[in-house]
Amino acid sequence: MKSRLEKVYSKLPNQKVNLKKQKVELNLAFDLASLGSTTDVLIKNINESLFEIETYKIEIDQVTNELKSDFSDLLSKAKELEDTLVKTEDLAKELGVEAGQINNFENSLDIYDEAVAIIEMVQQQILK
């Protein structure tokens, strides 16, 4: 007479299971999950970098526009200052005094020299 365990075991299907095939399928599933996860992280990193680049680009564009506006204003004010300095020198000669003796002349001349230096630097380095 068969034991209860033998009876249950005899009713199970007598099929061979190809464990190698299942192992390969499990390995492939693991590889897919691992590669998918790694790829997803890289995609997120790249998207974050692209967002940062776009943010910096917007900021650079804003600063560039401000620089162009200020540079244009500096050019016109430097020209006005130059003209005024020349007129002041001419007037001082007519009066027989040194231009440096006129209030604010020396300070304005220093500012003009600095403006010219900045204009040259911007033209050479920024507006190439």
Q: How many residues does the chain have?
A: 128
Its pTM stands at: 0.63
- The two three-digit tokens of residue 24, written as one number: 């390969």
Q: Which residues of 51-68 are buried (b: 16+ CB within 10 A; e: fewer)?
A: eeeeeeeeeeeeeeeeee
pLDDT tens digits, one per residue of 52-110: 999 999 999 999 999 999 999 999 999 999 999 999 999 999 999 999 999 999 999 99
